């Protein structure tokens, strides 16, 4: 178990915030790190909700939206065709689908007053997911 913690420390330190994600020069890796950051932000958003901290919850939801957009922008900036080189696009699509599932479960578990914010984040992630699907399936 301690070896796993040692392996996770650099990743956690690197993905401290959205600004540090943008410093990654490899665009595919940046997209991957952005999705991992978004997945970690769902966990911290749930913790903030459980602790009754609405400010931190909104901050984490904004981080999730921003990370999804960074993922989309990074993959678009590669200049690669998602249809011809689908590896990173498909990985991002699958992880975003999982992220959407987790956000939906979070929304279902949350109180009525917090659902609107979570559902808005879900909608923005769904838009990025839809964009990736269109890129993969299009015949450009």
CA dihedral sign, ordered 80, 31, 8, 15: positive
Q: What is the DSSP letter of 52?
A: T
**Looking at residue 16, what is its pLDDT?**
64
Provide the token pair at 51: 């602790």
Residue 61, domain extent: 2-137
pTM assigned to the model: 0.84
State the greatest distance between any 2 C-alpha atoms of the chain, in Å, as a whole number.
48
Number of domains, the chain: 1
3-state secondary structure 64-131: HHHHHHHHHHHHHHCCCCCCCCCHHHHHHHHHHHHHHHHHHHHHHHCCHHHHHHHHHHHHHHHHHHHH
- Decide if pLDDT at 60 tops 50: yes
Q: Which of 1, 36, 34 is nearest to 18 (CA)?
A: 34
**Looking at residue 97, what is its pLDDT?**
96
What end-to-end distance do the CA atoms of the chain give, in Å? 47
Q: What is the pLDDT of residues 5-49, one digit of tens each?
A: 444 444 444 446 888 888 889 999 999 999 999 999 999 999 999
- Give the span between the Cα atoms of 37 and 52, in whole angstroms: 22
């Amino acid at each position: 178990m301690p070896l796993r913690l040692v392996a996770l420390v650099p990743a956690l330190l690197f993905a401290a915030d959205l600004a540090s994600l943008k410093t990654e020069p490899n665009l595919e890796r940046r997209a991957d790190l952005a999705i991992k950051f978004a997945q970690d932000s769902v966990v911290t958003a749930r913790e903030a909700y459980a602790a009754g901290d609405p400010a931190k919850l909104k901050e984490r939801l904004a981080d999730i939206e921003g990370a999804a957009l960074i993922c989309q922008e990074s993959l678009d900036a590669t200049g690669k065709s998602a249809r011809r080189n689908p590896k990173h696009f498909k990985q991002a699509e699958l992880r975003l689908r999982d992220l959407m599932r987790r956000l939906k479960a979070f929304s279902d578990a949350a109180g009525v007053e917090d659902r609107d914010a979570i559902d808005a984040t879900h909608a923005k992630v769904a838009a990025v997911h839809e964009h990736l699907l269109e890129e993969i399936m299009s015949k450009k």
